Structures are given as C-alpha cells and as structure tokens.
Chains A and B, each alone.
Chain A
C-alpha cells in the first residue's frame, strides 16, 4: 500500500528523526555515564530532564537568547543532581530510592513553575543545515540538525579521552571502581561522587533544553516520559563508554522517530504502540546484555545496578 516514494520519505524521516530525537538521549546518557562512573546511579535524571526543559524554556523565553536558556537548563539540572548527590552521601540512603524521589520532585517543580509557560513561544536553538548541498527538500530537512548535537558529539569525545587521560577522569573512575582505593589515596569518595553527579546533572540538563527548545520545541507537561530513565538503560547498553553512548542515543532516537515518521506519511494507526518501541527495545537490550550470574562487563565495581 506504500509506493517507493513513501518508503524513501519514511527512511529520511527516521534518519533525520534519529538525530532530532536522539540528541536529548545523548546528553542524558552522557550525564548518567559520568554519574555511574563515579559509582552511583541517578534515576532522578528523569526529573532533571523535565525540570531543565522547563528552566531552559523559561530562560530562553525571558531573555530571548537561546543559549542563555540552555545554560539555565544546565544549572537547574546541576542543582537538582547536587541534591541527589548530597542525599546519597547520608548514611543508609539508597541512590535508587533518592532517584525515585527526585523524579517526583523534579517533575512537580517543573509542572508548578512551568504553568505560565505552556502558551508562549521562546527563542529556539538554531539548526545547522548540513543538507544545504542537496537540492532535495527531503535531504535538507533530514540533515538539518540541532546545533547542540555536534556539542554532544564533542562532549562524548572529550569524556572518552578524559576518562583515560586526565586526573579528574581517573579519580572519578577510581571512586566508582574501588572506594577503598580512592580513600587510601586521600580523596573524599562522597566529594568525588557529588561532583560527578552534579556535573552529570548539568549535562543532562542541556538535553532537557534540547527537548523544550528544539524538538518538540515547546514546554508542556507531557514533554518527557521516561527519556531520562531510558538513558540509565542506554548507559548499560553502551557498557559505560561515552563513545558508545552516541551510537546508542542515535539508535534509540531512530526507534523513537518511527511513530512520528509513519504519521508524516499518513499512517496513524498504532501510534501509541510505535511510541512504546523505545521502551520495549530498552527492555530487550537489558535482557540480552545482562547475564544470569556475575556482574556486567565494563560496569563500575561499586555500582548497584548489577546486583
């Protein structure tokens, strides 16, 4: 029932969508990667994402400058993540439970403070027309990418290099692999983890800004439903390697773009089922990559995810 033109349109829509939908995934998974490398899971990144999306929209709306919105999103994300880091440093407080709490708090604060922002339009993050060489409208729109995406790629490269070659990178990894070793060398494990969680929150916050300032490009209460959580699974899939987070984010972006792409060629049946594809894919990946015994390959040793 679909001719070849429709198939090509669909393909380009999915490729373009992979970058468009995948950009927030990329930032959140890089943020989560940094947090988990230090030995803690932050399930609260879901809350961070929603709060940062609202803050980013508010910043851009009030100042009229998109990058100020992005910065504000980062800082609001960092603030919420800082709370996570500090709470988890208390005795007998689990990082999983704290993550659930911050998911609720972040969403609540964002909905509360974002009430007046549902109608207006804010200055958007600009697009980079990588497809300008082509005369085809299709290619142009597929390759017109979010200006934050190259930043995310650069960040992935930086983290990849930094974890292996810089002092802070090694300290973070040490805190995540052996808190005893870190303590023996005179580092405060909690301090390192709070710093890593906060920085991770900042990075994830930028992903939130990409949601409200690029795609879908407005603030509403249904903006994020589980992207922050999927990121946690993405990091497992990426085996805690920043580079692989990029590939994973694009894969999930593509999966998330299937539903809207089908709609763009006029197939609207099963829309909700297609919207559930990323979650199902995450679940399948978790099942495939986990093993019946022992911990996950590449997982920071102090992490509780592979209990």
Chain B
C-alpha cells in the first residue's frame, strides 16, 4: 500500500536530512576557507577522523554511545509534544547518582552491582527531569525554559558535591569523587577484536533506542503518548491520562540521559568529575532533531555526530583549528535541518498527485516543533 504520496513522504524523510547535512558540511567548508584552510582538506580530515580506520571507528562509536541516550532524552518528551532540553544536567546528575551509591549503601560487585549504580544514576535524573513535566502540567510553566534552568541547577549541584562533600581527598588537581570499585566498572565488549576499547555502553544505547522505538510504535501506552503529542485536547477527550503520560515521557527521557552519565562514570572516567560535563547533552538535542525524534533513526545519526566529534581532535592536531570547530559544524547542521523543514512536502512538487494547494501560514502558537 504505497501510494505516491506515502512514497514521497518516506523519500523526503531520508532526503531532507541528508541534504541539510550536506549543506551544513558545505557551509563549514566555506567557513574554514575564510579562515585560510582548504575546504577539501577539512572534509577529508573530517571523514578520516570519523570513519577512516579501525581506531577512528572505535573513537566514533565510543562518542556515539552517550549521544544515543542524550538524544532519547529529547526524543521521548518530543513524542509527547514537549521540547525538553535539559539533557546536560540530567547527564551530570546521572553521573553523580552513579558515583554516590557506594557512599550510601554497600554495593555488591559484578553485574548486579553495575546495574545498581547505573539504575541509581538513571533514577536520580528521571526524578529531576520529571519536575519539568510536573511544572508544565500543573502550572503551565514552559518546559523548554524550566528544563534548561533545572539543567543549570543540576550542574551546580554536581560541581558542589564533586568539589565539596563527595570529593576524594586524594584527587588533587582534578576534583573527583572516590573512584568506583573495580568490580563495578563496565568493560569493553570485545577488547581483542577490531572494537578495541568500545564498551558495553554502545550496546545499552542501541538497545534503548530499539526498545523505545518498539514501545512507541507497538504498545498502547506508546501510542497514547504519541496521541498526546499530536493533539493534547483530543487525548483528553478520549480519556487518556495526559498528565501522567507527559510526566512519564519526561522521566523516561531523564532516565536515558542519566544512564548516559552513569555509563560515562562506570566505563570511562571511573569517578564523577568535570570531564563528564562535555556538552553531550546539547549534542543530543541536535541528534534528536536530525532524527526527527524517531528512536530508530537515532543510532545512525548519533554515530555520524559521534564521528564529527571524533574528527574534531584530528582537525585540531593537523590544521590547528580550535576545538570549537565541531560546535560550529553542529550549529550549521542544526540551522540547516530546521530550514529543511520548510521544504517538506515540496520536494517533489511536479510529481505529486495531490491537487495544488496554497500554504496557509499557521498562527505562531500552532506550529509543531520540527
């Protein structure tokens, strides 16, 4: 049952982001050219640093794993019609919750212990982001602003705990919490294969994306959530528990970002410290928007942007570009992706079987977010 209209919509769903990313790369090339660099060299290095050899692939996949989870932190609330962008703070709280659990209770070693510290981080972040959902449903506080404010507060709490009450006295130059016990850490998937240091976080990230995709597409609760996102009034009319679903979406999103932070502690840093806060929450926003908030589309997009991040250090080493060059590329990509939205439904203007229609500009309040 693929009518031409269906077919065009699916083709557009792939073509528009690809075109937008190509435009962003082009803009980035021009930007670097103004700075006296050769665009072709920049593009070449971007590709080589991201996907050129086994080592860059390992680097890319390692950076992609947390991005999948922080992107879910945006995508799940977005399915319920919310723009929640507090992933960075949720990630910090997740890291804190993970590192804090052994301070509070004795944690057994092995898989159970690892699961416990991860769950602790995810839970803390889930409760935190759920506040944004509660405030929106209870007081109509704009969730975009409140989630970002909560994020800044969470980061302040993180820094306070790491440099204050939870600081390991032996961490001199870089304030950190006490390192996680060896038995609680998450190891590499297959250390002797081409995957090298790539840790289980990647599997967790991909599994989360797949499972949440299944949940949204094939369960009645997931469907209800999408109805709420589509039209909250209809959802209320047919008797859906809108408030509960919205708060649930925020909490699940928060849990994902928190899990990203917890994994970062358990697999990479071994303790909570300032290195955990590296902008992955913000990049996750971009990943989710490029994937159009579709969990199944998140892993490939996260790998792409993980690759750009990995290539950033190569650009820095070879061409002396500032480390912020990746941020500039991300900014261009975000702007292009949003601009591409305007082309949706017009990419095949001559081929469509739909009658010609005039675009009536919707009032500002009715605009869907991406």
Contacts and interface: CB of A to CB of B under 8 A. Distances in A.
Chain A contact residues: helix, strand, loop or mixed: helix
Given A233-B145, A272-B160, A290 B339 contact: no
A117 to B, nearest CB: 11
Chain B contact residues: helix, strand, loop or mixed: helix
A94 to B, nearest CB: 4
Given A291-B139, A306-B140, A283 B150 contact: yes
B164 interface: yes
Interface string A270-307: 11110110011011001100111100000000111111
Contact of B163 (A111, A226, A229, A272): A272
B330 A283 contact: no
B141 interface: yes
B148 interface: yes
A287 B139 contact: yes
A270 B368 CA distance: 41
Contacts of B182: none
Interface residues of B, number: 56
A105 B328 contact: yes
A104 to B, nearest CB: 5
Contacts of A100: 83, 85, 144, 285, 334
Interface residues of A, number: 56
A107 B368 contact: no
Given A111-B324, A272-B160, A105 B144 contact: no
A92 B342 contact: yes
B112 interface: no
Interface string A89-108: 01111111110111011111
Contact of A229 (B149, B285, B286): B149
Contact of A91 (B322, B324, B342): B342
A241 interface: no
B58 interface: no
Contacts of A101: 286, 331, 334-335, 337-338
Contact of A112 (B148, B327, B367): B327
A275 B339 contact: no
Contacts of A96: 83, 144, 369
A100 B135 CA distance: 21
Contact of B370 (A97, A108, A302): A97
A39 interface: yes
A273 B164 CA distance: 11
Contacts of B369: 94, 96-97
B67 to A, nearest CB: 14
Interface string A11-55: 000000000000000000000000000011001000000000000
Contact of A109 (B148, B164, B328): B328
B338 A105 contact: no
A303 B366 CA distance: 10
Contacts of A112: 321-322, 324-325, 327-328
Contact of B149 (A270, A283, A293): A283
B266 to A, nearest CB: 24
A286 B327 CA distance: 30
A280 B282 contact: no
A105 B335 contact: yes
B142 interface: yes
Contacts of A95: 364, 367
Contacts of B328: 105, 108-109, 112
A91 B286 contact: no
B361 interface: yes
A155 interface: no
Interface in A106-142: 106-109, 111-112, 115
A233 B144 CA distance: 11
Contacts of B364: 39-40, 95, 179, 302-304
Select the residue from A83, A104, A269, A292 with max chain B CB neighbours within 10 A.
Answer: A104
Interface in A186-241: 225-226, 229-230, 232-233
Contacts of A93: 338-339, 341-342, 367
Nearest to A46: B148
Select the residue from A96, A233, A292 with max chain B CB neighbours within 10 A.
Answer: A96
A287 B331 contact: no
B156 A109 contact: no
A97 B367 CA distance: 11
B331 A286 contact: no
Given A87-B335, A233-B149, A279-B149, A292 B139 contact: yes
Contacts of A40: 364
Contacts of B57: none
B356 interface: no
A279 B324 contact: no
A90 B342 contact: yes
Interface string B326-370: 111111101101110110100000000000000101111101111
A119 to B, nearest CB: 14
A-B pairs with lowest CB-CB distance, top 7: A105-B331, A108-B327, A111-B324, A276-B156, A101-B334, A90-B342, A115-B322
Interface of B: 83, 85, 135, 138-142, 144-146, 148-150, 152-153, 156-157, 159-160, 163-164, 282, 285-286, 289, 321-332, 334-335, 337-339, 341-342, 344, 359, 361-365, 367-370
Interface of A: 39-40, 43, 83, 87, 90-98, 100-102, 104-109, 111-112, 115, 179, 225-226, 229-230, 232-233, 269-273, 275-276, 279-280, 282-283, 286-287, 290-293, 302-307
Given A280-B153, A302-B364, 8 more contacts: A97-B369, A100-B285, A104-B282, A104-B331, A108-B329, A112-B324, A276-B153, A291-B139
11 contacts: A40-B364, A87-B335, A101-B286, A108-B329, A272-B160, A282-B149, A283-B149, A286-B139, A286-B142, A287-B141, A304-B364
